[in-house]
Each structure stands twice: as C-alpha cells, then as structure tokens.
Amino acid sequence: MLDTAETPGNDVQDAIVPADVAATVVAPKSYVDDTVIYPALAWLRDNVPLGKASVPGYDRFWLVTRYADVMAISRNAKVFINGDNNLVLNTQAGDAYLRQANGGKLRSMNSLAFMDRPEHAVYRSLTATSFMPGRIRKLEESIREIARASVTEMLAHEGEFDFVRDFAMHYPLRVISSMLGVPQEDEAHTLSLTQRLFGAPPPSPDGAAPTMDAAARHWRDTLEEFHAYFRELSKARRREPRDDLISLIANTKIEGEDIREDYELDYYVAIATAGHDTTTSSTAGGMLGMLKAPAQFAALKADPSLTEGFVDEAIRWSVPIKHFMRTANEDVVVSGQKIHAGDRLFLSYPSANRDADVYADGDAFDIRRSPNQHLSFGNGPHMCLGQHLAKLDMRVLFEELMPRVASIELAGEPEHTETNFIGGLHSLPVRFKAA
C-alpha cells in the first residue's frame, strides 16, 4: 500500500518478477486458460506482489497483483495518472507507431479513460448524472422489454445454441445503443467495429502473424471508421435533439464553447465500445460459473433474491477487463517498493479479485459471496462510468431468463478470446430445456 513515510534507502533493490512469470501475465493466450493465468498470478501475490517486469519487446513496467495495492493506486489519481501514456500495455513497436500517428503522443483517444484532472472531471460530469443509479433505474422497464425479447429469441433455438453468439452478445449492445441513440438497424455495424477495435488485425497476405505496429495501425483505422459513423449521427441530433446521450453530448457547451469534435466523437466510441463487450463477457462468464457449479444454478432458480449477488459474483469471477496501466507522475513508495516518476504500472484486476487477503476461496464461483467489493470496475475517479447500467442489464436479463429455463448444460468446449485487455468467452455452446 501507499506509504510515503517509510521510504526505503537507496541500497534497497527493486523486487523483480521472474521473466517466465512476466511473459505469462503479458501473453494474450494465457487468459484463455484459468490453469495458466491464475496460478501465475497467485504465485506473484505470494512472492513478488509488486515487482519490476521485463518482457522482450515491451518497456519495463511494475506488475501490481495484490488487491490492496491495485485499490490504493487506482484511488490516488493525483500520483498515478492515465493521460500521458498508453492505457494498455502495448509493445514498443506499437507505441512507436502510435507516437508517429499522434504527433508524438501516446494518448490515442480523447475519451475519459485517457484524461486526468481537471479535464477528466469536466468531461465525466457531462454524463455522470445519466449513469447514476436513480437515472438508470428509470430505464429498467425499457431494458426489461429488450431482455424479454432476447430470451424469447433464445428459446426459439429449441434446445441447443451458443450462449455468447446467439444471446449474450446482442442484448447489452441493444441497451447501450438505445441509450446512446444508435438506430437498431446500425447495431450490426457498431458491433463489428467494436470487435475490430479490440480484436487482432487481420493476418498479412503471406500468412505471417500481424506485427504490433500493424495492430496500432488497425486501431487507428477502425477508430476513424467509428468517427465517420458518429459524425453523421451527431449532425442529425444537433438538428433534431432526442432523449439520448448523443443529443446530450452533441449539444453541450464546455466553458461556453461547443464541445470539440474529436472529444465528442471519442466520447461516443468509448461508451459504445466499453458498454457491451464487457457486459457480454460477464453475462456469459456468470452462466459458465453456474454450468461448472450446478448447485449455484439451482439456488438462483429457487431464489430470485440471489440475483444481485449472482451479478456481482459473475463480474468478479469473469473479470472482463484484465488490466489498465497507470503512470507515476512523482517518486512514491508503494508497499516498500520505490516507484519513480515516469514508471508505468500494470494493474492486474483478475489477480486482485482472487487475492486470499480479501476473498476466501477466490477461485470458487459463489453467488452468496458477501461482501463482494471486487475490482472488475476499477476504483477511484476513473471507476467504471457504466457500472450501474451493466449490473442492471445483467440482473434484468437473468430475472427474465431463469424462470423460463428448467435446466441448462454445456454442449461443447467454451472458447475464450486471447487477450490481456478486454474480453472473455466468445463461444459457450449450451443445451437447455425450457421451463
């Protein structure tokens, strides 16, 4: 934890993460297999909870794995900032490309997650009220209609279907699209752009794996396509405002001036993209948790009052976002380690969420877990803007789903996306009996 009083002397050596463990935590493919990533993270918590990691092709960074440290760093946004650097761990080649494309900067979007105060507070306040629990609750009936329609569509599959592709993927997208003001007929387009933004670039024609500068280029090109789409929608909402977030943001003034176009378009991209892949992952993750522990399914079916606890546990256990980076902007001591201004820190949310100091048997999926103050939504001033919406989406969906299925079981191998950033299950074949 943060401890400026107890400054270690100059002779204190940095704790070092063994190269093989650092490589495991950084490799996207580690996250498809719980038996690879979680033992590596548990080893780090026990042996090097905060240590310097070196992985070929990446700048050195601090790997933060304990709950208390991830929490303390997230809350101290004065010392640990977001804006000056890349928010995710990118390769040196990828960062070099981004710098070149962004006039020397690594801030690749003008959206909340890349901002620091005072700018962050100004832009967050534009939509903060729209995402407060009181406001979000007013959407419950319209969200329930979307959930009911999704469950009805799912039941039409008669027995067997893919819980992610045929169900969990579409519902949060519909909810966030309707809140933003994206017409339903455009959802397939925004879904494909989101998947491209967070997915790997297409392989090169000679079949070689994409290079990291190709990945950075792919990110910029996709972002530009997103901008082109939202630019047209924004024009329409300026002409004829409606009761949606695009109308709210497009017509806002910052210190008496119209909002800058790049900030405006990135706001939409952030909400559209942050809001559905994550909720899809935790929805599917919660279902997988119950498929692996059928007594939990029976308990939830018998007692709908457990749904809120189920939702928290699904989000804790599935951890849709695997890490975010912070940069220290002054020298500081954290848990006995001397962090220098300019050092970067990798906050491991999957690790924090299974820390034995906070969670008894953190690997188990337990819908009665209480308290359950997980770090899947981060913490501090950047804590997820859409957390109440995500929880409402999931609660309503499972309230609608559970009474209509008698049983559900795995019908094939679940498949996870290879990512060290955003993602989770991309396929979950299931067989069910309708109630």
**Which of 22-30, 102-110, 258-266, 275-283 is the region at the interface with ligand HEM (rule: CB under 6 A)?**
275-283
Determine, following the binding rule CB under 6 A, whether residue 97 of this chain makes contact with ligand HEM: no
Stretch that binds ligand HEM, among 61-69, 234-242, 267-275, 361-369 (CB under 6 A): 267-275
Q: How far is the C-alpha of 18 from the C-alpha of 68, rounded, in Å? A: 22
178 binds ligand HEM (CB under 6 A): no
**In the stretch 117-136, what mask flags binding to ligand HEM with x, by CB under 6 A?**
-------x------------
User: Does residue 344 contact residue 61 with C-beta atoms inside 8 Å?
Assistant: yes
Q: What are residue 60's phi and psi, to 5 degrees?
A: -70, 150
Helical spans, DSSP H, in 14-118: 19-26, 34-47, 67-75, 92-101
Q: How far is the CB of 315 from ligand HEM (least distance, A)?
A: 5
User: What is the C-alpha to C-alpha distance for residues 23 and 63, in angstroms, rounded to an integer?
Assistant: 11
User: Which member of 37, 55, 271, 287 binds ligand HEM (CB under 6 A)?
Assistant: 271
Contact 346, 22 (CB under 8 A): no
The residue (of 237 and 316) whose beta carbon lies closer to ligand HEM is: 316
Residues 6+ apart with CB under 8 A from 318: 281, 282, 284, 285, 286, 288, 289, 376, 424, 425
Which is nearer to ligand HEM, 154 or 390 (by Cβ)? 390
Q: Least distance to ligand HEM from the beta carbon of 270, Å?
A: 5
Six-digit token pair at 94?
């990828």
Candidate list 44, 168, 274, 408; residue touching ligand HEM; CB under 6 A? 274
Work out which of 30, 65, 91, 282 binds ligand HEM, going by CB under 6 A. 282
Shortest approach of ligand HEM to residue 165 CB, angstroms?
18
* Tally of CB atoms within 10 A around 227: 17
Say which amino acid occupies 169: M
Which residues, other chains included, contact 198 with Cβ-Cβ below 8 Å and sequence gap of 6+? 273, 277, 419, 421, 422, 423
Which uninterrupted H or E stretch holds 188? helix 187-198
Of these, 385, 402, 408, 428, which contacts ligand HEM (CB under 6 A)? 385
Q: Which of 37, 50, 113, 428 binds ligand HEM (CB under 6 A)?
A: 113
Check binding of 424 to ligand HEM (CB under 6 A): no
Considering only residues 361 through 380, tell me which ones interact with ligand HEM, judged by CB under 6 A. Answer: 376-380
- Using CB under 6 A as the binding rule, whether residue 382 contacts ligand HEM is answered as yes
Q: Is the separation of the CB atoms in 291 and 430 below 8 Å?
A: yes
CA distances from 121 to 9, 135, 162 (A): 37, 20, 41
Comparison of 213 and 343: residue with beta carbon closer to ligand HEM: 343
Distance CA 128, CA 38 (A): 34
Question: Interface residues for ligand HEM in 137-166 (CB under 6 A)?
Answer: none
**Closer CB to ligand HEM, residue 49 or residue 386?**
386
AA letter at 242? R
Q: Which of 2, 32, 81, 270 binds ligand HEM (CB under 6 A)?
A: 270
Question: Would you give the binding string for ligand HEM spanning residues 317-356, x where CB under 6 A is met?
Answer: ---xx--x--------------------------------
Coil/strand/helix, residue 4: coil
CB atoms within 10 A of CB 433: 10
Which residues contact ligand HEM (rule: CB under 6 A)? 74, 112-113, 124, 176, 270-271, 274-275, 278-279, 282, 315, 320-321, 324, 376-380, 382-386, 389-390
